[in-house]
Homo-oligomer: A and B are copies of this chain.
Amino acid sequence: MAWWGWGDPAHPRALPAGALEFLGAELGPLRPEPVPPPALASVALPEPAPVPDLGAPSDRSLAARVARAAGRSYPDLVRLRSGALERAPDAVLTPRSAAEVAAVLARAAGAGVAVVPWGGGTSVVGGLDPLRGDHGAVVALDLGGLDRLLSLDPCSQLAVLEPGLRGPEAEALLNARGFTLGHFPQSWEYASIGGFAATRSAGQASTGYGRFDQLVRGLRVLAPDGRLDLTPRPPNAAGPDLRELLVGSEGILGVITEVTVRVRPVPAVQRYEGFSLPDFETGAEAFRALVQAGSAPDVARLSDPEETRVALAQAGGGAGVRALSAYLRLRGHRAGCMAVLGFEGERGTLARRRECAAAILRAHGGLALGAAPGRAWAHGRFQSPYLRDTLLGHGVMAETLETATTWSGLARLYRGVGDALREALAARGTPPLVLCHISHLYATGASLYFTFLARQEEGAELAQWRAAKEAAGDAIVAAGGTITHHHAVGTDHAPWLAAETGEAGLRVLWAAKAELDPAGILNPGKLLPAA
């Protein structure tokens, strides 16, 4: 991963033709020539604090420390590109086994060294900030060496994976045995199995395959004081479900060393297709009808009119797009909403599911647009983070946030967050583009995924971002949404957690942490707001 941005530095990240002109017209003048990231050698880091031998290989080089100094949130990228990092881990530990992880935790607790568990490094919520808490040093515990498929039970459709496996590595190991995890978040190319579990990740196909917290059936977790070994029994009545306490614990309760996940046979067919819905409200009604009828596709996305407009503009001025726009205008979808539905499975079942879903969309005024929009979406599904780097170089803040609520509260949440982002950024003189889509369906509600783009306030990039983030967070809470549907809490969302979990709930989480991590070395400052 490039130390200054997303993914392989050599990966193409050119914007579509005309995109910069389009954004300039929307957002105001942008830098025509991108500012390149600084050279690694020029990055200023604080001197590392001394770290005793913690029982695993240790790397204190500039490259290693910079590479684990931040996740990949927008403020992370701004800080990385600034060339002066206020924080970095004092060392990077690379254990080769669960036994070495246990040794590190025991020695770090004894020596008072904070430990940040490190998977794919893709957090977009400050979940990997190298914070020391009350301790004298902080290390990143890079779990990349724990990268095996430990076992596969094809009969029970269960696989035991180590936490350091990245998305494509885990898929390759499972695919070779005929199975898939079906978990494809946008960060999939780099994010890790342990990270998926620690953050309650949701993937693009999670409407069908289930969120990662639903795929996790068992866990092995090492804590400084104790180990939890939850074997993958079916749901049962043997007391509170501790699995649900560990999934989403973001490294503050223990280090995940094994994850047992539900797997499924590799689907024979994958089919993604496009629809247009007359407006966002009707589209949301159609999506609600889909999921409540048990007819939800595996991938379900409904863009709002603004996201649809931008997508059509980005698709360029080709004859196909012009014809599509003309057709949609003709059918009364002048401010229509583009939907992508994805189906995976056996050919026969799939045809029936597609027909059921299409009938429901048609009943809501939906127009089938065929496979091309679906293919276009599938083709670009992991590309946005690369393009964000390019936009940053041109002086564009490109940020996303996500929330979820009940179906009856969705319209209010949609308006509240959009208005908050538009007002907060307009007030700073950088009126944004705010795009939104429904990204995941549940019987009782859905998620909203917002993308907002604005001209960067040069020299005040972080303050600008914080203003937008705070306005959105407050609007989410005011509308009864969750502060995060799938990006997790980290440091960025911690201020709003109390509104969701409540004071007694936070006390219970602190009590669990005190029991498992009495020295408080695990990922200080994350998830739980300061006590």
Contact = CB atoms under 8 A, between A and B. Distances in A.
A235 B211 CA distance: 8
Nearest to A265: B292
Contacts of A246: 240
Contact of A238 (B233, B349, B409, B500): B500
A239 B509 contact: yes
A515 B511 contact: yes
B515 A242 contact: no
A443 to B, nearest CB: 6
A234 B406 contact: yes
Interface stretch (A75-83, A90-98, A487-495): A487-495
A240 B249 contact: yes
A229 B504 CA distance: 9
Interface in A42-62: none
A223 interface: yes
Interface string A436-447: 000010111111
B234 A508 contact: no
A231 interface: yes
A513 to B, nearest CB: 9
Q: Which of A247, A253, A406, A440 has the most CB of B within 10 A?
A: A406
B234 A444 contact: yes
B408 A483 contact: no
A394 interface: no
Contact of A404 (B202, B236, B443, B503): B236
Contact of A248 (B240, B440, B493, B509): B240
B231 A480 contact: yes
A485 interface: yes
Given A444-B232, A504-B226, A247 B240 contact: yes
A249 B242 CA distance: 11
Q: Which of A442, A447, A527 has the most CB of B within 10 A?
A: A442
B406 A156 contact: yes
Contacts of A241: 213, 244-245, 247-248
B504 A237 contact: no
A202 B237 contact: yes
Nearest to A261: B444
Nearest to A514: B511
A177 interface: no
A175 interface: no
Contact of A504 (B243, B481, B516): B516
A405 interface: yes
Contacts of A158: 406, 444
Contacts of A276: none
B156 A445 contact: yes
Given A444-B262, A508-B245, A508-B515, A238 B483 contact: yes
Nearest to A214: B235
A147 B245 CA distance: 31
A228 interface: yes
A406 B154 CA distance: 11
Contacts of A390: none
A507 B440 CA distance: 36
A497 interface: yes
Q: What 4 pairs between A and B have smallest CB-CB spacing?
A: A226-B504, A244-B244, A156-B406, A236-B482
24 contacts: A153-B406, A157-B443, A157-B444, A200-B237, A201-B237, A217-B444, A226-B503, A227-B502, A230-B502, A233-B404, A234-B404, A234-B447, A235-B404, A236-B485, A237-B248, A238-B501, A239-B509, A240-B512, A245-B508, A507-B516, A508-B515, A510-B515, A511-B515, A512-B512
Interface of A: 153, 155-158, 199-202, 211, 213-214, 217, 223, 225-250, 253, 262, 288, 292, 294, 349, 352, 404-409, 440, 442-447, 480-489, 493, 497, 500-505, 507-512, 514-516, 527-528
Given A237-B485, A241-B245, 8 more contacts: A200-B237, A228-B505, A229-B502, A234-B404, A240-B246, A241-B247, A262-B444, A508-B512
